[in-house]
Chain A
Amino acid sequence: MNDTVLEIVGLHKSFGALAVTRNINFRLEIGARHALIGPNGAGKTTLVNLITGALAPSSGSIRLEGRDITRYSPQRRVSLGLARTFQINSLFPSMTVVENIALAVVANMHIDAKLWGALNRRKQVLIELERLLDVFNLSGSACQLISNLAYGQRRLVELALALALKPKVLILDEPAAGLPKEDSGKLSELLRRLPADLAVIVIEHDMQIVFGFADRITVLAEGSVLTQGTPSEIRADAKVREVYLGQARND
């Protein structure tokens, strides 16, 4: 049985003369809990953009469940089960929390071209919304506009949008960025409860989250994979200490 959901082979990306992604190989299994770490500017977000199709690679290939998606549009990749969250919140600011999540639910149910039948009278949609609001503990702010929401809660909506898509692979770009300490604890808790068969890549600078969550870690530096291993291997790795952990401690 082949358990690989996502496979990246020889991925390369340069912006002009600047090579930001260099020969990256990477494999993700069903239910994987993978962390991607590396100093600022290591090329983590760029890698996510390549995987999700926001950027086209200079060379290399990306496979989702065995299918070569290297040339697919971002939309198509999403509908095949690839979802992400954004390092910088990317939401619908003039809409309410429930409307934001509903957009993802609508996309997932493929009813985005239904011209009639009020959205808030569709039972399937409402049931799904109630479930997601419960999971993310957002019921209390369901009717708040995103622009009136506390930052920590926006981060949760960001996560809710991605999960509403019922993806096979979920990529979280610094989900804890800018969260106060107590909120990042809650986030860890949420991450632990993600569906068991969902393959997750999390990019994070918060080492507590990384080591609490990942069963495998890839360290990226200057665009290439520095090393890959289990959390304890990474913790013990001298190179990693040097380029990443050491630097993080100095911050």
Chain B
Amino acid sequence: MAVLKVTPSKDTPKRDIAASFGSHRLGLSDALVWALAIFAYFFLGAYHQLGTQVIIMIILALSLDLAIGYSGIESLGHAVFFGIGAYAAALFALNVLSEPLTGLVVGGLAAGAFGFVTGLLVLRVRGLTQVILTIAIGAVVLQVATTWKSVTGGDDGLAGYQVAPILGRYSFDLYGHTAYLYSLCVLAFVFALARILVNSPFGYVLRGIRDNDQRMRMLGVPVAARLLLIYSISAAIAGVAGAISAQVTGLVATDSLSFLLSGNVLIMLLIGGMGRLTGAFIGGIIFVIFSDRAAAIDPFNWLFMLGGLLILAVRFTPQGVGPWIDRMGGYLLDRRRKP
């Protein structure tokens, strides 16, 4: 009986226990993506704006991954947070201050607060009801944005606001070079935060809730409060993505709130893989570039091509292509890792 009671006074636990956790490790796919992003800066030429789009979508997809992939919150309304962040940042630039970093914070806080309030409702239900609820909230907000012309500019959206140079030094140029690097820095920051989050005790608790929320309750964890926290964090990150979008494009329209955007981000995650952070990167890149190219080749039928891509992705890589790339990486690095 002593075995269960007394802590054996081994001061240093075995290292292999720490290694038995599926923590997010920086794998080959991460290295690849970051190298590519910096490399791309010098070779994008006229495509810096597209590159910036990719980065913004990655941030949005990361935020969705925290909700769906890590916590099992089934949201098909993440564009709402993106849009609210965008409008908040634009309104802030129009009426208060043109300083961009504060604008990001404002966008994030506005969306986070909206996530907190709607979370009280959305997180009460699960499954299909939850999906539909998030869609419904999205529809309501879109309706409000379209009608409330004095604030949102209605269908015309908001434009004509100034964004001051970043840190008073780097002004946004016409070619989108600054915008690209700016978004990339924010992405790096968000990614670092997300990584800390998913590896923390809280991050594991979220996965536990996703797997079996009943049992998590019976371990004494206040599940509702934890879900509300991650939902608000996820909303805030989506809001930051929206704020960047408002700042670098100088325009916010109602499409930033649309169901289409919510759906597209979900597709990115499906392509890249959920619950692994890197999926957002891979999915975001493939999705934005593919739809840009497909739309250029056939402006009328490109959605069909997108559908085809999605079917292929789900058929051949149900976990997304992220694990697939990591496995290739693991293959190459195997010799070094395992004796």
Chain A residues packing against B (C-beta within 8 Å):
52, 54, 74-76, 78-79, 83-84, 86, 90-99, 102-104, 106-108, 111-123, 125-131, 133-135, 142-143, 161, 163, 165, 192-196
Residue B298 at the A interface, CB < 8 A? no
Nearest chain A residue, comparing its CB with the CB of B208: A103
Contact of A112 among B7, B196, B199, B202 (CB under 8 A): B202
10 contacts between A and B (CB under 8 A): A75-B218, A86-B215, A90-B215, A98-B20, A103-B216, A106-B201, A112-B205, A117-B200, A126-B13, A127-B11
Contact B20 A142 (CB under 8 A): yes
Please, which residues of chain A bring their CB within 8 A of the CB of B207? 92, 94-95, 99
Tell me whether A91 and B196 are in contact in the complex, defined as CB-CB below 8 angstroms, given that A52-B218, A107-B220 are known contacts: no
Q: Quote the shortest CB–CB distance from B151 to chain A (angstroms).
A: 34
Alpha-carbon distance A132/B220, docked complex (angstroms): 19
Alpha-carbon distance A188/B4, docked complex (angstroms): 15
**Binding site secondary structure of chain A:** helix
Contact A127 B22 (CB under 8 A): no
**Binding site secondary structure of chain B:** helix
Tell me whether A112 and B221 are in contact in the complex, defined as CB-CB below 8 angstroms, given that A103-B204, A126-B13 are known contacts: yes
Contact B21 A75 (CB under 8 A): no
| Residues from 222 to 267 in B contacting A, C-beta threshold 8 Å | 222-223, 225-226, 229
Please, which residues of chain B bring their CB within 8 A of the CB of A86? 215
Contact A75 B222 (CB under 8 A): yes
Q: Quote the shortest CB–CB distance from A179 to chain B (angstroms).
A: 20
Apart from A90-B214, A118-B200, A126-B13, list 20 A-B contacts with CB within 8 A. A75-B220, A79-B220, A95-B207, A96-B22, A104-B219, A106-B201, A111-B201, A112-B226, A115-B202, A119-B23, A120-B18, A120-B21, A130-B14, A142-B17, A143-B19, A143-B20, A163-B4, A165-B220, A193-B1, A196-B5
Please, which residues of chain A bring their CB within 8 A of the CB of B219? 78, 103-104, 107, 161, 165
Contact of B202 among A114, A134, A192 (CB under 8 A): A114
Alpha-carbon distance A90/B148, docked complex (angstroms): 49
Alpha-carbon distance A118/B192, docked complex (angstroms): 13
Q: Quote the shortest CB–CB distance from A96 to chain B (angstroms).
A: 6
